[in-house]
């Protein structure tokens, strides 16, 4: 058979494509597209990478800040106390300085604690000293408390004073010391001694031992005072009067007035309701009349010596009191009276003249 076309082969098709006008542009474009696609992936990745900084000699705190600004993470040794991070120096790092790494990469370091200067705690309170020790990169070591050597108190009183503040001691005498077992009570106590001494060098984190002076003060006399005045006086002297119940006047206090007592410790008091009548005048004797609390019976004293007073206990009711001269006076004079309930004036009057009669209640 003749006149038919021969079979089409791959080679003849490729030959025709290479001879076409599209071959050369595509032969140039395709490689460029491949290269461009690769660059599109590589360049953003490479541009996001950062060089690891040189951290040698820097503190862990400074290194963490610097790495954080580069979106890198610091990894210190497992035994590192991060509370002392500002008082460290880095010895080595991995990856090495200059290495380019991706964001969020971890930089592992080894470091050591540096030497710090021991602060001077003279004149500071215990709580101030604790803050200064921490700020200096040291730790608080075992602490002692010392009783003032000139304290005029025996061991029994001293132990009782500590017990009133919730601290157990046994036989402490003036000038003696013991372990500070209740540091939460010692916030305002002054520093008496420190070890190591101020100005010396110590490795960061080293313990600094303190000795504090226990403050004592005499208990003020609040006998006869109303509850609010007694509490105010005790608190002003530095004592805890929170256990003193409201109402009445102080008839007894524990410990007794003048007793050397631990500042901040509890002071107790017994209170009773009290009603008191008082009268005074510019003349020595007077005619008096009164009714007692809750009574309608009138009492009279026609020759009462002034100043005059009368007290009733365990009541808050009151009657009246009258004071005046025994006879008309030759010149002007003054007479006064007042009634107090639990130490507070509830009625007070005065009169002036040749017959200064006055009534309270």
User: Per-domain residue ranges for the chain?
Assistant: 50-113, 126-216, 274-360
Q: Is the pLDDT of residue 27 over 70?
A: no
The hierarchical CATH code for the domain 274-360 is 2.60.40
Find the mean pLDDT for residues 207-212.
97
Q: What are phi and psi of 233, to 5 degrees?
A: -65, -40
pLDDT score of 39: 52
- Around 66, how many Cα atoms within 13 Å sit in the side-chain half-sphere? 14
Across 26-30, 64-68, 194-198, 353-357, least confident range: 26-30
**CA angle in degrees (0–180, nearest 5) for 332-335-339:** 165
Residue 7's pLDDT is what? 52
Question: How far, in Å, CA of 239 to CA of 112, rounded?
Answer: 47
Q: Say what the pLDDT of residue 11 is.
A: 57
Q: For the chain, give the mean pLDDT.
A: 91
Q: pLDDT exceeding 90 applies to what percent of the chain?
A: 83
DSSP labels, 201-265: EEETT-EEEEEEEPPEEEPP--TT-BHHHHHHHHHHTT-B-TTPPSSSEEEEEES-TT-EEETT-
Whole-number pLDDT of residue 1: 41
Can you read off the two tokens belonging to residue 221?
Answer: 């006399």
DSSP lists the bridge partners of residue 109 as 93
Question: What does DSSP assign to residue 78?
Answer: T
Tell me the mean pLDDT in the region 218-231: 96
| pLDDT computed for residue 230 by the predictor | 96
% of the chain residues with pLDDT over 70: 88
Q: Indicate the SS3 state at residue 309.
A: strand
List, for residues 103-112, the tens digit of each pLDDT value.
999 999 999 9
**Least confidently predicted of 46-50, 63-67, 91-95, 232-236:** 46-50
Instruction: Specify the pLDDT at position 5.
Output: 47
The owner of tokens 């001691």 is 169
What integer pLDDT is reported at residue 2 of this predicted model? 44
208 DSSP β-pair partners = 140
Any residues with CB less than 8 A from the CB of 38 and at least 6 apart, and which? none
Q: What are the start-end ranges of the H helices in the chain?
A: 10-19, 23-48, 60-69, 126-135, 155-163, 227-236
Question: For 154, what's the count of Cα atoms within 13 Å in the CB-facing half-sphere?
Answer: 1
Residue range 170-176: mean pLDDT, rounded: 96
In order of 73, 242, 293, the CA distances from 84 in angstroms are 18, 41, 71
Q: Do domains 50-113 and 274-360 have the same CATH topology?
A: no
- E strand or H helix that includes residue 93: strand 88-94
Q: Which pLDDT tens digit goes with each residue over 130-165?
A: 999 999 999 999 999 999 999 999 999 999 999 999
Q: Which are the contacts of 273, defined by CB distance < 8 A and separation ≥ 6?
A: 247, 248, 249, 313, 314, 315, 316, 341, 342
Predicted local distance difference test score (pLDDT) of residue 208: 97
Q: How confident is the model at residue 3 (pLDDT cuts 50, 70, 90)?
A: very low
Q: From CA 293, how far away is CA 340, in angstroms rounded?
A: 12
Residue 36 pLDDT: 60
Does an H or E element contain 8, and which? none
Q: For 242-268, what is each residue's pLDDT tens digit? A: 999 888 999 999 999 999 999 999 999
Omega of the bond leading into 241 within 30 degrees of 0 (cis) = no
We find that the CATH architecture of domain 50-113 is 2-Layer Sandwich (3.30)
Those residues whose C-beta lies under 8 Å from the C-beta of residue 352, and which sit 6 or more positions away, are: 332, 333, 334
Residue 234: how many other CB atoms lie within 10 Å: 25
């Amino acid at each position: 058979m003749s006149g038919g076309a021969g079979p089409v082969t791959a080679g003849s098709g490729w030959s025709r494509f290479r001879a076409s006008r599209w071959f050369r542009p595509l032969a140039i474009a395709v490689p460029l597209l491949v290269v461009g696609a690769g660059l599109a992936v590589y360049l953003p990745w490479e541009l996001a990478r950062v060089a690891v900084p040189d951290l040698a000699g820097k503190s862990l705190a400074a290194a963490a800040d610097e790495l954080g600004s580069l979106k890198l993470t610091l990894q210190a040794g497992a035994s590192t106390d991060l509370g002392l991070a500002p008082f460290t120096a880095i010895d080595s790092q991995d990856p090495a300085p200059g290495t380019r790494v991706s964001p969020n990469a971890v930089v592992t370091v080894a470091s050591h604690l540096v030497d710090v200067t021991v602060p001077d705690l003279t004149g500071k309170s215990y709580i101030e000293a604790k803050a200064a020790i921490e700020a200096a990169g040291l730790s608080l070591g075992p602490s002692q408390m010392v009783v003032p050597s000139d304290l005029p108190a025996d061991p029994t009183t001293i132990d009782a004073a500590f017990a009133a503040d919730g601290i157990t001691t046994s036989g402490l005498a003036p000038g003696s010391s013991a372990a500070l077992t209740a540091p939460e009570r010692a916030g305002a106590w002054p520093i008496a001694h420190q070890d190591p001494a101020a100005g010396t060098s110590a490795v960061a984190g080293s313990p600094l031992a303190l000795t504090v002076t226990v403050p004592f003060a005499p208990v003020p006399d609040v006998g006869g005072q109303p509850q609010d005045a007694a509490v105010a006086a005790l608190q002003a002297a530095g004592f805890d009067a929170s256990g003193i119940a409201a109402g009445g006047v102080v008839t007894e206090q524990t410990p007794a007035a003048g007793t050397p007592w631990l500042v901040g410790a509890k002071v107790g008091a017994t209170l009773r309701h009290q009603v008191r009548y008082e009268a005074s005048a510019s003349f020595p004797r007077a005619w008096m009349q009164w009714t007692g609390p809750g009574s309608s019976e009138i009492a009279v004293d026609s020759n009462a010596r002034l100043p005059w007073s009368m007290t009733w206990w365990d009541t808050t009711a009151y009657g009246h009191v009258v004071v005046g001269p025994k006879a008309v006076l030759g010149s002007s004079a003054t007479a006064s009276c007042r009634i107090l309930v639990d130490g507070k004036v509830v009625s007070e009057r005065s009169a002036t003249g040749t017959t200064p009669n006055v009534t309270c209640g």
